[in-house]
Amino acid sequence: MKKIYLLAILAMAGFAVQAQSADIGLKGGLNLATWSNNGSGAAYQNRLGFNGGLYAKIFATPQLSIQPAVVYSSQGTKYTVGSQEHNLKLNYVNIPVMLQANVGGGLYAEAGPQLGFLIGTADKVGDIETDYFTTNDFKKNDVSVGVGLGYAGTSGFGVNARYNFGLTNINNVGTNKIKNNVLQVGLTMRLSGNSGRRY
């Protein structure tokens, strides 16, 4: 796990050092996460979680920017065995790199890849850990692609909505294909950089 955090820190430091014109800030919000249909007939429901981390918005031109980030993300799904509903939490450290088209008035559209590192799991019925699924049941790395929309205000605050489509089959023990799908809605707060929008 220490290697994952070190990689994340080095990635952000590298982007910041190379950036000639960058904003640095915090982001956080809610996740609505589930798994894709794997053909097994199992019914997976949405699970509410949260995300939070650090981003850098690097301007290539006033209309085009790249936004790498390091984000903790609580994902997973809900499923039912018998009459018991399980709340399965998959904790990731994600590194998305979004290409953003700044369309004017603070609005932007974005798309790009994301690399995720699984750092822990919890599978509970109510407050009781079941160990029905454990960390060993899942692959350590996850690749997805995100698409979204956002607004960056001149005050430094903004809003963002993004959907991450999982590309990796995260199942480590069986033949069923399981992929993470996560809707993220949240707020951003610029800590340093330009005091107003560049677009």
> Which carries the bigger pLDDT value, residue 127 or residue 174?
127
Cα–Cα dist 193/199, whole Å: 14
Q: Is the pLDDT of residue 153 over 60?
A: yes
Strands of the chain, DSSP E: 22-35, 47-61, 64-81, 84-104, 107-125, 128-129, 141-152, 157-166, 180-192
Q: Is the pLDDT of residue 196 over 60?
A: no
| pLDDT digits 0-9 by tens, 51-110 | 999 999 998 888 999 999 999 999 999 998 888 899 999 999 999 999 999 998 999 999
Residue 174: the pLDDT is 81
Q: What are phi and psi of 5, to 5 degrees?
A: -65, -40
Strand partners, 101: 64, 109
Place of tokens 């692609």: 145
| pLDDT digits 0-9 by tens, 5-50 | 555 555 555 555 554 568 899 999 999 999 986 666 667 899 999 9
> What number is the average pLDDT over the span 150-162?
95
pTM above 0.95, yes or no: no
Give the chain's domains with CATH numbers.
2-192 (2.40.160.20)
Residue 169: the pLDDT is 95
How many C-beta atoms lie closer than 10 Å to residue 158's C-beta? 21
> What number is the average pLDDT over the span 161-172?
96
> Which carries the bigger pLDDT value, residue 36 or residue 150?
150
Residue 57: the pLDDT is 93
Q: Is 127 helix (H, G, I), strand (E, B) or coil?
A: coil
